Amino acid sequence: MEIENQVPVQDVTFTQSDIDGLYKTIFNRRDVRSQFKPDPIPDDVLARILQAAHHAPSVGFMQPWNFLVIKSPDVKQQIHDAFTEANEEAAKMFDQEKQKSYRSLKLEGILEAPINLCITCDRSKAGPVVLGRTHIKTMDLYSSVCAVQNLWLAARAEGVGVGWMSIIKEEAFHSILGIPEEVVPIAYLCMGYVSHFNKKPELETAKWRERLPLSEQVFFDQWQQTKTGEQEGLIAELDLNADFPQKFTNLYPG
């Protein structure tokens, strides 16, 4: 039985073209907010994207996610109204100078995107005791986030833009979408074909924040231990490969 579930390594070896395609997708993934086109996403394309999400890893193979596809203009409007209220509250949390910059940003595409999608986590789906969730109870939530990332990358490969809208009170999802209280809304995504993909993340272009150097984000053996004699080679490679993503964003800007 175990042999029947094994695939020879050579049968699943990725070609250099496959590898480049994966990196191209990762480095060209963007959070889309303002360039959605009205063109509908064909059912077969959306089905493939959802299959990719459904094949994400999950703790105890519990597959805690559900996918709520939203096309109704009325439902979208209700979500947008809830966003507008929360967005105004959010703006006031920043100091005056930052508020001005915040208000200049478009942070959602709820009404423009042909499809809105809410990914949820049903924490009871595999029963009260889940293999792998016995001690870290949030592993099912993290599993659902893996589904979001799978979906995002598959959508980008299909030429579909995705924007994650998170400026909203969680209870709005429950009341507007009828999500049971025990089910956790993980991500509200705006999806559709776009006029273009930005070469850099929008918040980076707007100088809201800069991308942090990877070499400063990697520790060894202990928290904030950044250099040891054995790891100097990797640290050097992290710096040398800092421009690695540009190989793909320069060749394939959109």
Tokens for 170, please give them.
């969680």
Our CA angle for 120, 125, 128, nearest 5°, is 125
Residue 253 pLDDT exceeds 80 = no
Residue 4 is given by DSSP the state G
Q: Which of 82, 53, 57 is nearest to 67 (CA)?
A: 53
Are β-strands 65-70 and 115-122 bridged in parallel, bridged antiparallel, or unpaired? antiparallel
* Stretch 209-217: mean pLDDT: 91
- In the chain the domains, ranked by start, together with CATH numbers, are 29-211 (3.40.109.10), 212-254 (no CATH)
8 close to 233: Cβ distance less than 8 angstroms:
no
Question: Over the stretch 59-98, which tens digit does the pLDDT of each residue have?
Answer: 999 999 999 999 999 999 999 999 999 999 999 999 999 9
Tens-place pLDDT, residues 103-151: 999 999 999 999 999 999 999 999 999 999 999 999 999 999 999 999 9
Between CA 11 and CA 165 the distance in angstroms is 39
What average pLDDT is seen over the chain?
Answer: 93
**Is the overall model pTM greater than 0.95, yes or no?**
no
